[in-house]
Chains A and B, each alone.
Chain A
Amino acid sequence: MIKADHISKSFEGRTVLDDISVEFETGKTNLIIGRSGSGKTVLLKSLVGLHEVDSGAVYYDDVCYTQLTFNQRKAIRKDIGMIFQGGALLDSSTVVENVKLPLDLFTDQSEAEKMERVAFCLERVRLQGADHLYPSELSGGMIKRVAIARAIVMNPRYLFCDEPNSGLDPQTSVVIDNLIHDITREYNITTIINTHDMNSVMEIGEKIVYIHEGHKWWEGTKDDILHADNAELNDFVFASAMAKRARRAAR
């Protein structure tokens, strides 16, 4: 479980997050949705510690993460996997080197054990035959798969995904969504996905938090979202003609 307790964050006097409290549940795919510039990414980066919050606290299973020092956070960070919007793979390393890096740095496994684990993770994300390619030689979907493999290689307890579908075609997006959802269930991970893709919301969203102008505007499930009477949320969710038709059909 990850809990944000009244967190606020501002940059140069501009408030980006304002008194947000929310709890993300273990074993579920928790989605943070909202318009571009609403504060989703800042919330995600504040939860993971890449941004220090101005006030409030973040808890990882009752441990107050925001009060820990850099070295104390290391222990929790080894339990965190994160998939960045652009993949954030190391350009100078091959696919195998990227996935193996956390094992090289934080385990005492033999080379054979590490390679076995890397092969398992790459197989788990259904990416074979790309072991020695560099990120510049991979497609967008392949980069996301490698990023997922790297994120799960250390058996994380918490998985953060920042717009995992951005730049992907609809079919590949569904594959990536399902992969993240399956991994969450399989390993009982607390997964938090930052997205504005309504397909993801309807496919895999088990708990959804809507952020608007730095405030938590709404939270609920994907079933609740179709019947919510929050005007801002409805404007966001039913922005497309297709979604409007789906809502009329649901009613």
Chain B
Amino acid sequence: MIKILELTGRYFLLLGKVFSRPEKMRIYRERIIFEMEALGIGSIPLTAIISVFIGAVVTLQMSISLESPFIPQYLIGYATRETMVLEFSSTVVALILAGKVGSNIASEIGTMRITEQIDALEIMGVNSASYLILPKIVATVLFFPLLTLLSIFIGCVGGYAIAYVTGIMIPGDYIEGMHYAFLPYSITYSLIKSAVFAFIITSISAFCGYYADGNSLEVGRASTRAVVASSIVIMIFNLILTQILLV
């Protein structure tokens, strides 16, 4: 318990350093764009592939589960949309990105720590925490909601495609279900969650990498710790945000 409190304290101290005044805004702007490309655009293919298959699988499962003459078929499209919007495209995609982006950030910063690149920045008088971590946080917080929107869209298209190809339902019913009882606030809820999860993934992974100490084995451990810790915190915040925003 003391260890967890100590780590939490160190985490917030690091965040204090991260959010102190940047040296030069122009340099940070350039780094934010670089990180958006590396962490955000680089995650589009994985997000797209997973979303299209999940959308298709959810549609298939719903069509089997809801196979009854008393249940209108358009509910399959509705259930697919709600699954994608409320949970999959924000939470599950965040868990997947915790693996991809989180381990990437932890190993990159961890390697910089053990090869003394962070020390070199400190010697120059650079606030290394802010210089290395702030652009990553800004980039992911801005970009992950876009990935969520993309995931929702592609997931719904995946569901439509499987309905069209297999003939399990009339595609028109699927489209009708997509429109049925649509609440725009659901999208807002999903985007808020993805922004919060982006912050969690990036800051926790950067924290694990920044305090890596030792050799390359430690970088691997930092990377694993980053994925595990981010995933657990994401699930906790998923519950908290759902309680606050939806209930």
Interface residues of A (CB under 8 A from B): 45, 48, 50, 73-75, 77-78, 80-82, 84-86, 88-91, 101-102, 104-106, 150, 154, 160
Contact = CB atoms under 8 A, between A and B. Distances in A.
Contact of A90 (B23, B117, B123, B125): B117
Contacts of B24: 104-105
A105 B123 contact: no
B117 A78 contact: no
Contacts of A91: 111-112, 115, 117
Contacts of A106: 23, 124-125
Contact of B123 (A77, A85, A104): A77
Interface of B: 23-24, 27, 111-112, 115-117, 119-120, 122-126
A86 B27 contact: no
Nearest to A70: B127
B124 A50 contact: no
B120 A82 contact: yes
Contact of B115 (A73, A74, A88): A88
B117 A88 contact: yes
Given A90-B117, A105-B24, A78 B111 contact: no
A6 B27 CA distance: 40
A135 to B, nearest CB: 10
Given A104-B24, A105-B23, A160-B123, 12 more contacts: A75-B125, A77-B123, A77-B124, A81-B123, A82-B119, A85-B116, A88-B115, A88-B116, A88-B117, A90-B117, A105-B126, A150-B120
A74 B125 contact: yes
Contacts of B23: 105-106
A160 B125 CA distance: 15
A73 B125 CA distance: 8
A112 to B, nearest CB: 16
A86 B116 contact: yes
Contacts of A48: 123
